[in-house]
Structure 1
Amino acid sequence: MIVDLNLIGKRVLVVGGGNESSRKVEALLSQQCEIFVVAEKAEQSIKHHADDGKITLELRKIENVDFLKKYKQLDLILATTDDQVLNREIILVGKKTYGCYVYAADDPQLSDFSHPSIINIKDTIQVGISTGGRSPLMGKSLRKHLEPIVKKSISDLILRQIDLQELVRGEAKKKIPSVEHRKKFLTELMVDASVNQCLEEKKISTARELACERLDAFIKRNSNTW
Structure 2
Amino acid sequence: MRYFPIFVDLKDRRVVVVGGGEEATRKIRLLLKTEAVIEVVASELHPELSANPRIRWAAKDFSPDLLDGAALVYSADKDLNPTVSAAAQARGIPVNAVDEADISTFIVPSIVDRDPVVVAIGTEGTAPVLAQGIRARIDGMLPHGLGKLAARAQSLRDKVASIVPHGNRRRAFWQEFFFGGPRAALEGGDEVAFDLALNDALFNEGKPAAGRVSLVGAGPGDPELLTLKAHRKLQEADVIVYDRLVSPAVLELARRDAVRIPVGKTPFEPSPRQSEINDILLREAKKGLHVVRLKGGDPYIFGRGGEEQAALEAAGIPVDVVPGITAALGCAASAKLPLTQRGQNRSITLLTAASEHGVAEHNWAALAQPGQVCAIYMGVNAAGDVAANLLSAGMSPATPVTIVENGTLPTERVIETTIGSVWDAIHTRGVSGPAIIYVGLPSDRAAANIVPFPVREDIRDAILRAAS
1:164 aligns with 2:156: no
Structure 1 residues 75, 205: CA separation in 2 closer, same or farther (over 3 Å shift)?
A: farther
Read off the aligned partner of 1:202 and give its amino acid letter: G
| 1:74 corresponds to which of 49, 58, 70 | 70
Larger Rg computed on CA atoms:
2
Map of 1:92 onto structure 2: 86
Give the CA deviation at 1:204: 4.8
Structure 1 residues 190, 82: CA separation in 2 closer, same or farther (over 3 Å shift)?
A: same
Q: How does 1:180-195 map to 2 (within 5 A)?
A: 181-193=169-181, 195=182
Map of 1:128 onto structure 2: 120
Distance 2:207 2:15 in 1: 45
Q: Which runs of no fewer than 5 residues in structure 2 stay unpaired?
A: 211-286, 290-468
Structure 1 residues 11, 58: CA separation in 2 closer, same or farther (over 3 Å shift)?
A: closer
Structure 1 residues 24, 156: CA separation in 2 closer, same or farther (over 3 Å shift)?
A: closer
Distance 2:159 2:87 in 1: 43
TM-score, length-scaled by structure 1? 0.73
Distance 1:202 1:170 in 2: 23
Give the CA deviation at 1:221: 3.4
Distance 1:209 1:47 in 2: 49
2:164/2:202 contact within 8 Å kept: no
TM-score, length-scaled by structure 2? 0.39
Map of 2:332 onto structure 1: none
Map of 2:20 onto structure 1: 17
1:57 aligns with 2:38: no
1:109 aligns with 2:102: yes
1:221 aligns with 2:212: no
Instruction: Note the alpha carbon deviations across 1:65-118, whole angstroms, 9 max, x for none.
Output: x2x3245411111111131xx211212211212x12111113202211222233
Structure 1 residues 206, 164: CA separation in 2 closer, same or farther (over 3 Å shift)?
A: farther
Higher normalized contact order (CA 8 Å, seq sep 6+, divided by chain length): 1
Read off the aligned partner of 2:76 and give its amino acid letter: T
Distance 1:69 1:209 in 2: 57
Read off the aligned partner of 2:90 and give its amino acid letter: K
Give the CA deviation at 1:180: 5.2
Between Structure 1 and Structure 2, the one with more helix by share is 1
Distance 1:35 1:87 in 2: 18
Structure 1 residues 39, 114: CA separation in 2 closer, same or farther (over 3 Å shift)?
A: same
**Percent identity among equivalent residues?**
21
Distance 2:94 2:136 in 1: 32
Give the CA deviation at 1:217: 5.9
Give the CA deviation at 1:13: 0.9
1:12/1:34 contact within 8 Å kept: yes
Structure 1 residues 19, 118: CA separation in 2 closer, same or farther (over 3 Å shift)?
A: farther
Structure 1 residues 43, 170: CA separation in 2 closer, same or farther (over 3 Å shift)?
A: farther
Query: How many residues matched?
Result: 210
Between Structure 1 and Structure 2, the one with more strand by share is 2
2:15/2:37 contact within 8 Å kept: yes
Distance 1:70 1:13 in 2: 8
Query: SS at the partner of 1:221?
Result: coil
Read off the aligned partner of 1:7 and give its amino acid letter: D
Query: SS at the partner of 2:31?
Result: helix
Distance 1:56 1:18 in 2: 15
Map of 1:211 onto structure 2: 198
Question: CA RMSD, aligned part only?
Answer: 3.3
